[in-house]
Structure 1
């Protein structure tokens, strides 16, 4: 025949609270050790430990009167504790809702900026075109390196003009990114992903 399993800590705590709520009276430790064992099956050896845990959690009240220490717990306090927990949870829930609303509004504002996506796409396309043009000019420059100095000078100027134009567009894009980052606290990677800006996007050197 298997040995009867003892009560768990939670079962002991629950039974001791039932005892207090049923009796609605004040008790000393010695009385609780005797009565809880007799009426609730809690061994007297564990009563002090369970009682201490309930006092630490603020579920059972205690006070010293003269040389005696008394313990008690009334159902009304348990009801108040439950109400207080419900109020705390309700406040936390409202805080979460407020944060969610703020995030939703920030996302909505960020999406407004996406209306300019086509414009940014055009800018990036023109920038890519300028890069290609610069590459072609650089190739031509290489071909004419030993040719007419006037032709070389012209190509150099055209290359410089193309590079400056490309960097102006690059600067404009960086300014827009900075504004979005400061306004909505988005990371660079998020902005790049949203507007299709490549990872190696930078000024033309």
Structure 2
């Protein structure tokens, strides 16, 4: 049975091991030659795997002159994880403060609006009026063409059309009279 190829994640781990074991700086050419020799990574996929490691921040890259240099040290991953952990803790602290602030605001609003029989009745009345308003809006939409606003717009359009027709008719009469005399 032929040996199976490495998965993408296995290639990433093996390429990262090259950096961590050697603790050295590499150029692309050296990585392309060392990847297959040291870890059995197919040379055609080394560039792609290297780019994915750079994109994820596990390998650093810097351009010096016309050359790109790559490196990654074992402690670097720990530092990245510590930074991420600190950022997450800070975000958690901020969100916890926001939650406490919102809870306090809710409690303040509840205190400002104590439950009473009158308030409950008013809220029920408000809900009923909202339902009635929605029902009336739906009924008005059903009568679409009879909507008072639309009817008024059509009346204005008719008046404007009559005025325009009268103006053009008058201009046509004047033009015919001019052509007969001329």
Q: TM-score, normalised by structure 2?
A: 0.60
- Counterpart in the other structure of 1:167: none
4+ runs of 1 displaced by more than 4 Å? Answer: none
In 1, Cα distance between equivalents of 2:104 and 2:4: 57
Change (3 A) 1:15 1:197: farther
Change (3 A) 1:69 1:38: same
- Counterpart in the other structure of 1:147: none
* Residues 1:38 and 2:26 aligned together: no
**1:199 aligned to which of 107, 112, 127:** 127
Paired residue secondary structure (2:50): helix
Encode CA deviations 1:3-40: one digit per residue, 9 max, x unaligned. Answer: 54422222211221122111101122222122222222
In 2, Cα distance between equivalents of 1:38 and 1:200: 78
- Counterpart in the other structure of 2:137: none
Gaps of 5+ in 1: 125-172, 174-191
Q: CA deviation at 1:71?
A: 1.4
- Counterpart in the other structure of 1:118: 117
- Counterpart in the other structure of 1:6: 5
- Counterpart in the other structure of 1:22: 21
- Counterpart in the other structure of 1:61: 60
In 2, Cα distance between equivalents of 1:67 and 1:200: 74
Q: Aligned Cα RMSD in Å?
A: 2.4
In 2, Cα distance between equivalents of 1:99 and 1:21: 42
Q: CA deviation at 1:96?
A: 1.7
